[in-house]
Structure 1
């Protein structure tokens, strides 16, 4: 087992080294297609690193148990001397010299039976002791969600690998030496040392929101700050871009709350990070664990509608508020949902924006490509169909036609384009899922690259990613995507200025905005609106109050809810343009921006 552990550690070190090398190459690469290849390679290595870490953790746990068993067994055996027991017992045996042979035989048989009972008793004690030794490490060393975890109950061992307040990094391959030391100190409850190393790591890699969250959690522990705990659930393993953006929004809100106070903050927001990997089973497992942790008052998540739809009953039954920054399906919320809220507009507004764009550009025939196995994708299709009739727009393909299914592993863009072209279509609507399946977004990119230059494409919000920008000229002046926000709409706000300072110029994504808004909604409820000690129930009641409103990233529009939905009437459309302001060479800008406005944006980043 030691050799296996050593091999895994060597493989992990090799993969981390390769991850760093590929990251350096990606930063220097200017060819969008090679950038996309590097990104895919990095994601594969990420998965290998996670697998190695999980295997190493399992072997470490087994070795600890074996070592404890061995030590305890040796100590127990050394305390019991069978020869002494036998001698002491024989001392009680009478002298048989003057007893007849018959009585002697009876007495000897009795002695043997008595000794046998003693030995069986000793054996039972030894077996019981070994069972205790086996179970004890699992009880003592069972992972907790956060330090001071006496309130944590029923923590499932495999699921705990995907939860952390600072005890481990969930972003594989990103660990700097300083961050690793900070995590080790945090795990050992040495918070001053953890703060020291997390701050060093922040200086070297300021774009890492996980480090900032762990740093703030360590400060809360060090100063024994009155803090309330929330969880943020993101798909780190399968959608790192969106996950980092959501974590940046949460980290910024957490940082602003602490930084408004003096050196020793009196109130704070403790944040648990969970990685659902866009996997339904893992998401449900995480949700079941979170609802049992009574000190966790709310959850920010999940990102994908498919996962939110599968976990909503768990949160509802556990009376745990969930605020989603990314789930826009129309099936959310149901009339009897009382603990679900979202800071992203619903799909209905998205589809109306798509219909208006197509009508304004005189496209009245469209082909729709989607994933029929995705709740989000199906919901988007249904809303499109409902709204297109009012705009006299026809969908030429049947929703059961597999040639238009982005989830099809054998999807052939050329065949799909040929079918659409034969019916006079020059516009496509692309509705990939939120990364919950392997092929959907990948096939959408294939379709974009294979489409003729005179075709126009409108995409759902999962296409608002860096990977889309890496397609370069294939999307310039051809692709428009829906988005809850675009950076220029909040570029003059205090939120944008603070984001510039925290993330050193990293572009603001809509998911950072909706996550920041979700965090602010909870912070303002927990620390301002609720006068008594906050509970899950009075937090829910406060958010559901028709008079509730909170300030978010867009300071001109306060956040308000109606039956869990955000009251926001407008959804943005974004297009891709060349940009020297972006590290990718391309940026998303509002669809209505003209050349002069784009030039002004470019001049502002000089």
Structure 2
């Protein structure tokens, strides 16, 4: 069809449904071309022509209804407006088609903005890709091609083909936890046998590093279990979901997972605000979750919420005691985010511990305030004789936008620095923060002979961090709970198993036990930034031997 300057053609071009090529209108997207083919046009024309009036009716209508414009058009011109009208229908349904194309069966492209329609489907067992780029440093086209082929096969139900492609992908790039999870899922589906299903709730679209660290722990536990024959012969399947570090998204994820009867338990969420947002929805659906969140608000929050990471009270106590006893410093200033449950929790517990043990918090700065200024905060901290800055960022975005700015400013003042687990990052190591102390819950060098560490290094070809260890522990807890039931258990039975004072599961370094509040009382591992010639940035985190005991 030739192009022209009519409003209809302009609308179609602006919608990107069509493009011009050598003066002709061409369908822009091959999927549209397949759906709205010549056959479709002919069928639509045939159905419309059946409704067209006869010449006698036209003549009659022209005399009886002078306002009937369509019926007054000569019959020989019918095909043109009909075709244009049919094409304009594409504009009306463009939004839904765009969702189907962008959120294709095996590749999801979305963000966490409320207006984005793909927000509804960030869940996958292998039929779509949630992590667009699993490669940490450099893209690997061979890996990506094989992974996409595996996901396409998974989406079409060709599980054995999917297994072959996923195995090929992992040979090209082994440090890919999403792909390993999909491989184990595909292997389970290929046997056409029953499976046990748990779901992972991770912040892929907002904190990819944390999400991948969690998935490494989950994938390692799943892979080891299934390679050994599963749970009483039944393999474990893992469903991955992206909460986007967005409370509304976390609620939607919790609701959707709760409605999936095959999902028996959750590993997640990572951020405290997400666990608090989703917890009651899980409880409503009798679906227990084992999170990595640390806010003190989570203690006793719900009978269906457990966690493998200890409460912020433990981290705050360890940091405060180190400041007072090891550094022999008495005055600290705290920088935090009042809109984050985690950040407020860590700040409050730190302030309480410092004051109760003879120290003083001379200033508290809320960097979520619109009038917060780094320079002004430093001037006030120095004016009040602060010797230590305790940083409590709530997210990796906050770390990059606020903490790094503070760290660079501190290079001039040289106050001693300490922080919560979010500060444990490569971004921090790239700065001049020699001697900074951070509270985490596991470090590979603190447990060099552990079986978990050896297996993880062999599996991923790289070191893992505390997030991986805690996610591994959460998955191990689910595996142990499932093993204690000779017959497929209900969600309620699993929750009761986790709540039992006699429950215990093997962890990355220590046994996993939950107390009545759903907490796990384990020690905090403090680490210090040291110079390291083997590190790409010249620094690394080194475990401190004097750790806070249970």
Q: TM-score range by the shorter chain?
A: 0.7 to 0.9
Tell me, which stretches of 5 or more residues in structure 1 are unaligned? 9-58, 87-129, 147-155, 594-606
Measured in 1, the distance between the counterparts of 2:505 and 2:205 equals 32
Name which of 434, 459, 468 aligns with 1:476. Answer: 434
The 3 A distance-change label for structure 1 pair 167 and 160 is farther
Task: Give 3-state SS (helix, strand or coil) of 1:278's partner.
Answer: coil
Measured in 2, the distance between the counterparts of 1:209 and 1:550 equals 23
1:288 aligns with 2:247: no
Name which of 458, 462, 486 aligns with 1:501. Answer: 458
How far the C-alpha of 1:256 sits from its partner, in A, is: 0.2
The 3 A distance-change label for structure 1 pair 583 and 192 is farther
Q: Is the 8 A contact 1:345 1:565 kept in 2?
A: no
Measured in 2, the distance between the counterparts of 1:354 and 1:306 equals 23
Task: Give deviations 1:509-546, integer Å, cap 9, x for gaps.
Answer: 000000000000001111x1122212111110110111
Q: Which residue of structure 1 lines up, in the alignment, with residue 25 of structure 2? A: none
Name which of 318, 321, 324 aligns with 1:359. Answer: 324
Structure holding more helix per residue: 1
Measured in 2, the distance between the counterparts of 1:3 and 1:356 equals 64
Q: Which residue of structure 2 lines up, in the alignment, with residue 518 of structure 1? A: 474
The 3 A distance-change label for structure 1 pair 257 and 583 is farther
How far the C-alpha of 1:234 sits from its partner, in A, is: 1.0
Task: Give 3-state SS (helix, strand or coil) of 1:267's partner.
Answer: coil
Q: Which residue of structure 2 lines up, in the alignment, with residue 427 of structure 1? A: 388
Q: Is the 8 A contact 1:460 1:481 kept in 2?
A: yes
How far the C-alpha of 1:282 sits from its partner, in A, is: 1.5
How far the C-alpha of 1:281 sits from its partner, in A, is: 1.7
1:450 aligns with 2:409: yes
How far the C-alpha of 1:207 sits from its partner, in A, is: 1.0
The 3 A distance-change label for structure 1 pair 185 and 572 is same
Q: Is the 8 A contact 1:302 1:308 kept in 2?
A: yes
The 3 A distance-change label for structure 1 pair 265 and 197 is farther
Q: Is the 8 A contact 1:431 1:459 kept in 2?
A: yes
1:406 aligns with 2:372: no
How far the C-alpha of 1:202 sits from its partner, in A, is: 0.7
Measured in 1, the distance between the counterparts of 2:166 and 2:18 equals 29
Q: Is the 8 A contact 1:333 1:565 kept in 2?
A: yes
Q: Which residue of structure 2 lines up, in the alignment, with residue 123 of structure 1? A: none
Task: Give 3-state SS (helix, strand or coil) of 1:458's partner.
Answer: strand
Structure 1 residue ranges, 4+ long, deviating more than 6 angstroms after superposition: 1-8, 59-62, 83-86, 141-146
Task: Give deviations 1:139-169, integer Å, cap 9, x for gaps.
Answer: xx899999xxxxxxxxx96344311111222
Q: Is the 8 A contact 1:344 1:514 kept in 2?
A: yes
Measured in 1, the distance between the counterparts of 2:342 and 2:465 equals 20
The 3 A distance-change label for structure 1 pair 496 and 529 is same
Name which of 318, 327, 347 aligns with 2:312. Answer: 347
How far the C-alpha of 1:591 sits from its partner, in A, is: 2.3
Pairs aligned (count): 473
1:567 aligns with 2:513: no
Name which of 470, 479, 484 aligns with 1:529. Answer: 484
How far the C-alpha of 1:261 sits from its partner, in A, is: 3.0
Q: Is the 8 A contact 1:470 1:584 kept in 2?
A: yes
Q: Is the 8 A contact 2:159 2:190 kept in 1?
A: yes
Tell me, which stretches of 5 or more residues in structure 2 are unaligned? 1-11, 20-27, 55-88, 107-115, 135-142
How far the C-alpha of 1:439 sits from its partner, in A, is: 3.8
Task: Give 3-state SS (helix, strand or coil) of 1:561's partner.
Answer: coil
Task: Give 3-state SS (helix, strand or coil) of 2:298's partner.
Answer: coil
How far the C-alpha of 1:377 sits from its partner, in A, is: 0.9
1:322 aligns with 2:289: yes
Q: Which residue of structure 1 lines up, in the alignment, with residue 151 of structure 2? A: 183
The 3 A distance-change label for structure 1 pair 476 and 567 is same
Q: Which residue of structure 1 lines up, in the alignment, with residue 223 of structure 2? A: 255
Q: Which residue of structure 1 lines up, in the alignment, with residue 354 of structure 2? A: 388
Q: Which residue of structure 2 lines up, in the alignment, with residue 90 of structure 1? A: none
1:161 aligns with 2:121: yes
Measured in 1, the distance between the counterparts of 2:467 and 2:167 equals 25
Q: Is the 8 A contact 1:406 1:440 kept in 2?
A: no
TM-score, length of structure 2 as denominator length: 0.77
The 3 A distance-change label for structure 1 pair 77 and 488 is same
Name which of 193, 207, 219 aligns with 2:175. Answer: 207
Q: Which residue of structure 2 lines up, in the alignment, with residue 546 of structure 1? A: 501
Task: Give 3-state SS (helix, strand or coil) of 2:323's partner.
Answer: helix
Q: Is the 8 A contact 2:303 2:518 kept in 1?
A: no
